[in-house]
Chain A
């Protein structure tokens, strides 16, 4: 209890004194906002002081000896230095050994605390993929950023869709690799709410190299008081359902497109995937060898063919992206099966059909009629 209180105090103090590099106390470490941070920082600083000590001792000896025993022209070579000294040599073997064992022990106990989640933890399912994150909550809500309750242990149950990723939240001092084919877990507890504003959230990084977009997997961790969090959770689970069908494409579309924009541009720029510019025209006009196997869109889309409608084709491209590869593009898109439901796919398709209403960043450029404007303010960030 006492240590929890201290860590809250320390974390709060460091939040108020941000930015980190400004204060001498934060010369090395960023703000620490989890209950675990205090122990890690303490250990880090103790090791630092041990390092300073030995560094200064060795440097001072070196500089002093070099100045004192520097050869002057014409001097004879000294022969009075000792060749060995068992006690001295044993002492600088044994003393570092004892220090190391002590550091190991405290590092070990700290580590056990760091990896053992309390029983009452709140679970969030995390899926990492090239190159993004999907955070899924027990009630079915999904989010691109991690939103968690404060004053309660949170456990991330993580899996990867493709290659190795790694979840790192510097402010919480936690990190864990995400290995495809198995679950890995990570827990933390943060007692300092940030509010839902993205810019106030703590950083979350991917720290296992995963290719082109490795450095674009930064997300934010927002910490909300329990009541506020519960409210957010309900709203987050229903946000798609609350939008009327005919408004889906411009209300939900851009929010979902945020996850597509890394690879699919709207202005024709060649990315890792084909640009969406003019996609609906391409899909609905016959001809053109558009796939790597030589087939064109019209060979597979149409009545009696593989896809009855272009909508079917888009939907399958989102769920089974490697099935038909557009010529010159690689098989790099992760599947969004289980991440985008029917309404989400509907909004993406709707957006593709109305691309002329969006700017190159995916923002809707038309204005809402006054009646619809009221409902717009309700739908929160996704």
Chain B
């Protein structure tokens, strides 16, 4: 039997105004040299959102260029730089750090009832590594940009005349270490800093997801570091590793690259799945359905992620036997993904569902991830992949998963924890409208690209056949709609910061530990290490008008405790 002995939010009302992490100390240095995981999380979030804006501008430029066949606004070389930058920024600077480093940093220690991550200084160091990597990427633009595609396939990447290739590779190398250190920190934190009572199977599922992600980050990212090193060596010293004219093998590069970059896909999506597990259960106020299946499916996806990289190379010239093995293993990823999707959906069954802004993002995620996941079957199947490989079908598929799922999950998580991070509420109606606009715009943009691809339109094309134009026009209109949605979303957040209602400790009715400290949390998160109950038991919560948030009802709590005691005996 367990109870929550942390001070209740209502008892903390007076202290909340005196101690929160945002006002704990003041001045530039207090932020720049902070070891507080919450401040580092906020800094990461600001940096990631700024990068998202830049990557998004490139996306809009791309879509605008593709309005007509041939030249619309820029030349072919500029277009090639645009799509390369869009991809590299979105992957390395936005999606990979967005959930683990930004939201994870903020939420993970509080969810664990801990004061901070295990290695706070390493945490700050990894943030500055991110900044360093970002600066190198920025510098590469000044050095002539790069037009290699974010995949840096050789021998094009070692022979192209654009001058920014080596700076951006250096940037990617540094960003990789930022990611490794964050992963290392999280693994140790989850192992060592869980409070008494929080067994592995009492952890919120977001922690399981972050833990699985951290394992991939630590194991896979070093391979990327080696790969970009070899690429730099080949480009600067003409040592033949990948270039066949010097005795190298370009397909070897693809193996190295995807050995990291396929797991990287799960570095992006698994934490988003964790967020969705939280959002769906908290906003449906309903015990998550099949906790263990979801937890194990995160670990299963992390494991499978290492042995399916070859499906990026079905037409690359790797042997038919390898293709067969990789195709078979790739299907295994479908199972944990299906389990998660069905379990989330079943969590809605007999729930008490509040259609809040985070919940709208959560439901969008299920919709978009279902499409993204199912179209993966076309691509894992050998003979259909041959037709669809390197076409817009692939582009649509991975945008449904990377953007429609990973990024929508991140934005949903941001809405979910925004009151906790800033202490302010946002205009809920406007945020929901923004979500709907993004959702509609997204589907217009990317569903069209499925048709484009299956009709045979190759990806990374500056010029295209006139019969494809109608699809491109629709897709571009969708992108503009989506941009409007994101601007509305940003406006909501700005309005919230400037004049949002004060946030209660528990605006949504969550039960994991972060909802038990004030909004925003005090510098030390908890005055005493909290004891932990079932973080998905919502039965004791009641909406409180005065508080404008959820509070634990004493009577209901007694009933819940009794019920749990019965369950244990």
Contacts and interface: CB of A to CB of B under 8 A. Distances in A.
Contacts of B80: 209, 211-212, 214
Interface stretch (B104-112, B282-290, B422-430): B282-290
A85 B290 CA distance: 7
B338 A179 contact: no
A330 B334 contact: no
Given A170-B455, A180-B245, A81 B159 contact: no
A129 interface: no
Given A43-B383, A84-B290, A330-B161, A89 B320 contact: no
A44 B390 contact: no
Contacts of B462: 214-215
B339 A92 contact: yes
Most-contacted residue by chain A among B153, B352, B355 (CB, 10 A): B352
A82 B542 CA distance: 20
Interface stretch (B29-37, B321-329, B492-500): B321-329
Interface string B311-332: 0000111001001100110011
Contact of B382 (A59, A78, A83, A107): A107
Interface in A31-90: 39-40, 43-44, 47-48, 50-51, 54-55, 58-59, 61-62, 65-66, 69-71, 75-85, 88-89
Contacts of B472: none
B370 A107 contact: no
Given A69-B349, A203-B456, A213 B76 contact: yes
Given A58-B342, A164-B156, A214-B460, A80 B350 contact: yes
Contact of B389 (A92, A175, A182): A175
Most-contacted residue by chain A among B147, B245, B374 (CB, 10 A): B374
A156 B231 CA distance: 31
A192 B245 CA distance: 40
A282 B370 CA distance: 63
A79 B382 contact: no
Contact of A181 (B244, B378, B538): B244
Interface in B366-395: 366-367, 370-371, 374-375, 377-378, 380-387, 389-391
Contact of B345 (A65, A170, A179): A65
Interface residues of B, number: 93
Given A40-B386, A89-B293, A181-B244, A103 B331 contact: yes
Nearest to A27: B451
A92 B149 CA distance: 38
A100 B334 contact: yes
A34 B336 CA distance: 37
B331 A100 contact: yes
Given A88-B346, A211-B156, A59 B370 contact: yes
A89 B343 contact: yes
B17 interface: no
Contacts of B161: 330, 332
A144 B153 CA distance: 26
Size bin of chain A's contact surface: 35 or more
A9 interface: no
A112 B320 contact: yes
B461 interface: yes
Given A61-B345, A78-B286, A92-B339, A107 B316 contact: no
Interface in B215-271: 244-245, 249-251
Nearest to A213: B76
Interface in A218-232: 218
B351 A170 contact: no
Interface in A101-137: 101, 103-104, 106-108, 110-115
B378 A47 contact: yes
A364 interface: no
B76 A212 contact: yes
A70 B455 contact: no
A29 interface: yes
Contacts of B467: 19
A50 B377 contact: yes
A51 B375 contact: yes
Contacts of A47: 377-378, 381, 384
Contacts of A240: none
A215 B317 contact: no
Contacts of A330: 161
A29 to B, nearest CB: 6
A155 interface: no
Given A179-B316, A209-B153, A212-B80, A58 B352 contact: no
Given A28-B454, A71-B354, A96 B370 contact: no
Nearest to B383: A110
B320 A111 contact: yes
A101 B159 CA distance: 42
B139 interface: no
B459 A207 contact: yes
A30 B339 CA distance: 34
A177 B352 contact: no
A170 B387 contact: yes
Interface in A125-181: 162-164, 166, 168, 170-171, 173-177, 179-181
A57 B353 CA distance: 20
B541 interface: yes
B338 to A, nearest CB: 4
B13 interface: no
B510 interface: no
A379 interface: no
A162 B155 contact: yes
A208 B390 CA distance: 7
A20 interface: yes
B143 interface: no
Most-contacted residue by chain A among B458, B465, B539 (CB, 10 A): B458
A112 B378 CA distance: 17
Nearest to B393: A28
B201 to A, nearest CB: 12
Given A59-B370, A92-B338, A164-B156, A30 B381 contact: no
A318 interface: no
Nearest to B84: A209
Interface of A: 19-21, 27-30, 39-40, 43-44, 47-48, 50-51, 54-55, 58-59, 61-62, 65-66, 69-71, 75-85, 88-89, 92-93, 96-97, 100-101, 103-104, 106-108, 110-115, 162-164, 166, 168, 170-171, 173-177, 179-182, 184, 203, 205-216, 218, 330, 332
Query: Which are the 10 A-B pairs with shortest beta-carbon distances?
Result: A181-B244, A170-B456, A110-B383, A107-B381, A111-B382, A81-B350, A65-B348, A215-B461, A100-B331, A207-B390
25 contacts: A28-B455, A30-B456, A48-B378, A51-B374, A54-B374, A58-B341, A77-B538, A81-B349, A83-B289, A85-B289, A93-B338, A100-B335, A103-B377, A106-B381, A107-B380, A114-B383, A175-B389, A175-B390, A177-B315, A180-B155, A207-B391, A207-B459, A208-B153, A212-B76, A214-B461
Given A47-B381, A84-B289, 15 more contacts: A54-B374, A65-B349, A69-B349, A77-B509, A79-B538, A81-B287, A81-B289, A82-B350, A83-B290, A89-B343, A103-B381, A162-B155, A163-B159, A177-B315, A180-B155
